[in-house]
Copies of this chain bind each other. A is one copy, B any other.
Amino acid sequence: MPTLSVFLDVPLAPKTRGRLLDDFQKDENPNKVYLAYEVCMTGNEVPWLPPVVPKTLMKLAHDPSQSYEYLPEHGLEAFIHVATELLVGRHSPAIVENRVGGVHTIGGSGAIRLAAMFLKDWHRGPRVVYLQPSQKEQHGFIFQEMGFIIREYTFWDPYQLASDTGKLFDVVEHAPERSIVVLYNPGSFILPRKRWIKLAKVMKRKQIFLFFDVPDQGFISGDPDRDNKILRYFVSQGFEFFCSQCFSNSFGLYDERIGCLIAVALSNEALLHIRSQLDSYARYMWCSPPALGSRVITTILSNPALRVEWKKSLRGVVENIMLTREKVKEKLRLLGTPGSWEHITEQDGMHSFLGISVDQVDYLVTKKHIYIPKTGQFNLTCINNQNIDYIAQSINEAILAIDSPGSHLPR
C-alpha cells in the first residue's frame, strides 16, 4: 500500500558553517593550507594533546573501582571544584567566602547557553549583550534566541594594526546601565593597572554585568594563573559575574565537550539560589553531562605531579606559538615585504589578525590555496616547518599584487 509522507515539504537545511573547510577539502592543489582550524595543531598537523592526557586516560580505564552511573544534573562535583580553583585561584576571596561555584556543562557553548537561559529569566536590566565579532556566530546566536539584542564591539584597529583594549571604556560608557558585557579571552587584555581600576569603577557605577568567556586558559602566557589576572581583579573588587570556561584547547579532548559555567556571587546564599536555578536549566537541557573528560581533568589538576606536567606542556605550546610568530615576521622581513609586521609578534594567543585586507585574503584563498577566514584572523598553530615558507612567500605575493589602502600599511 503506497503511503503519503507526513514530511512532504521538509527542505534541505542550509549549511551555515564550514564552507571554507569544505572548499579546502575539495581543493586538489598539493600546496593547499588551512589556517582556520579551531583546534590547536601540532607541527605534524594533528590536534595537540598534552602527553599527560593519554596517560591519565589509561590510568582511568584500568581503575576497577570506577563507577559509570549517571552524574548528577550539575555534573562532577570534584571537577567543578578544580575548575573553579583554576579560574579564580586557590586562595581567592570568593572561595574563602564560599560565594563561587558552577555547573559542569557540555563544552563552552553549553556554558553560554545555560547562562543565557538564566539571564533571560533573572537578569534585571536591558536585554542588551555586548560581544566581540569573533563570538557573534556561535554565542551571539544563543543570546539572540533568548531574546537579547547583540551589540558588537572590537579592539582590533585594522589601520593601526593593533589591539586597543582601551576601547572597552567607550563600550562601557555608552552601554545602557545594567547591560551585559562579554569579555572574550580576558587574558589578552593588556591595560595598565590604573586604567583597570578606573574601568572597574565605571562598571560598578553602571552596574554592568560582566560575562567572562575563557576559551583556553593558559594559552596567552603559558601560565594559567597569569592569564586570569584581570578576572581575579574583578573578583577581588567584589563583582558578581558569570564565566564560561572551555577545556578543549588546554586539554586536547575536544570530542569530550568539557566546559563549566562558573558563577561568582555576592554571598553564599545568592550563590545557592543561582546554582539551584542553573541546575534546573542543565537538567532541562541535557539531564546530566558526560563524565570522561571531566574525570581526566580532575585527575590531572588534583595531582601535583600531573598538574606540573600539564602546565609544562602548555608552556611548550605557547612558546612554539611565539616562535612561529617570530619566524613569520622574520621571513616577511627577509622577503622585503612592504609594511610593518610587528603586529604579528605583538598579538598573543592561538588566533591572530594577519593584518591584511579582505582583497588580499581573497587572493591568498583563490590564487594561493591558503584558506583564511574573511576576518583575516588565523590559527598560528596551523603554520609549521613544512608550510611556513610557502605561506610567507604567498603573503608577500598578495601584498605586492594588491595594494589595499588601510590594510597592512601603517598610517
Contact = CB atoms under 8 A, between A and B. Distances in A.
Nearest to A66: B54
A5 to B, nearest CB: 5
A46 interface: yes
A49 B274 CA distance: 36
Contacts of A276: 12-13
**Number of copies of chain A assembled together:** 2
A10 interface: yes
A292 interface: yes
A224 interface: no
A335 to B, nearest CB: 33
Nearest to A58: B61
B286 A7 contact: no
Given A106-B106, A107-B287, A122-B7, A68 B254 contact: yes
9 contacts: A6-B123, A10-B270, A58-B62, A61-B61, A70-B254, A106-B286, A255-B288, A255-B290, A286-B286
Contacts of A266: 3, 5
Task: Give me the 9 closest cross-chain CB pairs, A-B, nearest first.
Answer: A255-B291, A290-B290, A13-B276, A61-B61, A57-B61, A13-B280, A58-B61, A10-B273, A70-B254
Contacts of A68: 47, 49, 252-256
Contacts of A355: none
A330 interface: no
Interface string A242-257: 0000001000111111
